[in-house]
């Protein structure tokens, strides 16, 4: 994953890193690794460089070298903006964290914002916003009207576009300022604000300018896979929703287990049983569940679960 601040500040090191990147793009990862090691001799405190070295080492089959480089990244950057801790867990060198670090998620989507719609919808056959909106209207009625919809993890606003026609007021929240800027360009939201869904509701940013219990519909389209164990998400959704209000959301299908799985994509997959437990704990009743292919990843279908739930009165 490329850092937006990849320069080391050293011209020689940057040049060697550029050559390493060119070797990697040609599939010559061992050569790329060697050049990155040379670059890091010049600038040993360069966290982004160590992360790039880990990528090349992993792809050249040197798992131990990759692990050592990732551990160096974590030591140099405790905020873990590169998600090195997640990579260590995928490599079996650490326990998977309950949730990814917020700086990593924010950077990931800030980097991705400008090309998100094109890459996801056109190339990866992304279907969640349209399918989730259809699921809502199947059960609420095609002529349903929601006084207020809170779209949490709204991204560039793809779900907002789908639900705007049935909405009086539409609020969107996201951790990424870049994503919020792209959502604003669509001009479908009445209010957009930053919020960290991994934090408790009181400090998440969801209630800074508005009260609890205000939403007829809370939506979370394709965001929960970046939030791990969801310990804060369902309580926040319950505080947002009116009694009897709806919560529509999607997850990647985690199979038959009872706990989230961290996949090599660095996204979490959630088993149905785990989601049902989280819903029950937060006072939601299941209305509908749909299984669907939600996107392609490396040419393979990603299977998802789409849920519609109602907050208990």
pLDDT per residue as tens digits for the range 290-313: 999 998 888 899 999 999 999 998
pLDDT of residue 116: 80
pLDDT above 90 as % of the chain: 85
Query: Please, are residues 231 and 58 in contact by the beta-carbon 8 Å criterion?
Result: no
Mean pLDDT to the nearest integer, 98-102: 93
Evaluate if residue 122 carries a pLDDT over 80. Answer: no
pLDDT tens, position by position, 41-58: 999 999 999 999 999 999
Query: What is the distance between the alpha carbons of residues 244 and 210, in angstroms, rounded to a whole number?
Result: 19
CA torsion angle for 67, 20, 2, 268 (degrees, to 10)? Answer: -40
User: Residue 93, CB half-sphere, CA atoms under 13 Å: how many?
Assistant: 17
pLDDT of residue 297: 86
112 confidence band (pLDDT: 50, 70, 90): confident
Evaluate if residue 118 carries a pLDDT over 90. Answer: no
Evaluate if residue 190 carries a pLDDT over 90. Answer: yes
Which DSSP category does 96 fall into?
Answer: P
Query: Please, are residues 308 and 244 in contact by the beta-carbon 8 Å criterion?
Result: no
Query: Please, are residues 89 and 255 in contact by the beta-carbon 8 Å criterion?
Result: no
pLDDT tens, position by position, 199-245: 998 899 999 888 889 999 999 999 999 999 999 999 999 999 999 99
Q: Cα(first)–Cα(last) distance of the chain, in Å?
A: 45
pLDDT tens, position by position, 1-42: 344 357 888 899 999 999 999 999 999 999 999 999 999 999
pLDDT tens, position by position, 154-165: 999 999 999 999
Residue ranges of domains in the chain: 11-95, 110-311
CATH code that applies to domain 110-311: 3.40.50.150
Query: What is the distance between the alpha carbons of residues 47 and 45, in angstroms, rounded to a whole number?
Result: 6
Query: Please, are residues 236 and 249 in contact by the beta-carbon 8 Å criterion?
Result: no
Beta bridge partners of 23: none
Can you identify the CATH homologous superfamily of domain 11-95? Tetratricopeptide repeat domain (1.25.40.10)
64 confidence band (pLDDT: 50, 70, 90): very high
């Amino acid at each position: 994953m490329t850092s937006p601040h990849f320069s080391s500040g050293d011209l020689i090191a940057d040049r060697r890193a550029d050559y390493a990147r060119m070797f990697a793009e040609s599939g010559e990862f061992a050569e790329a690794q060697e050049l990155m090691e040379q670059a890091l001799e010049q600038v040993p405190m360069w966290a982004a460089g160590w992360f790039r070295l880990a990528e090349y080492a992993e792809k050249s089959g040197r798992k131990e070298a990759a692990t050592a480089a990732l551990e160096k990244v974590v030591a140099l950057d405790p905020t873990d903006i590169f998600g090195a801790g997640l990579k260590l867990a995928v490599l079996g060198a650490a326990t998977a964290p309950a949730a990814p670090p917020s700086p990593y998620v924010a950077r990931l989507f800030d980097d991705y914002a400008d090309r998100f719609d094109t890459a996801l919808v056109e190339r990866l056959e992304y279907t969640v916003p349209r399918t989730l909106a259809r699921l809502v209207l199947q059960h609420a009625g095609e002529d349903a009207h929601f006084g207020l919809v809170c779209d949490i993890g709204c991204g560039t606003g793809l779900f907002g576009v789908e639900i705007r026609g049935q909405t009086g007021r539409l609020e969107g929240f996201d951790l990424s300022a870049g994503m919020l800027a792209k959502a604003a360009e669509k001009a479908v939201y009445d209010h957009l604000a930053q919020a960290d869904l991994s934090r408790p509701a009181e400090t998440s940013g969801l209630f800074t300018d508005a009260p609890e219990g205000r939403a007829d519909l809370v939506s979370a389209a394709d965001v929960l896979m970046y939030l791990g164990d969801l310990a804060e998400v369902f309580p926040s959704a319950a505080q947002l929703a009116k009694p009897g209000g709806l919560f529509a959301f999607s997850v990647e299908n985690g199979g038959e287990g009872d706990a989230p799985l961290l996949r090599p994509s660095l996204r979490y997959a959630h088993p149905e049983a785990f989601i049902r437990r989280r819903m029950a704990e937060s006072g939601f009743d299941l209305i509908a569940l749909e299984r669907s292919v939600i996107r392609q990843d490396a040419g393979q279908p990603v299977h998802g679960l789409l849920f519609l739930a109602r907050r208990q009165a």
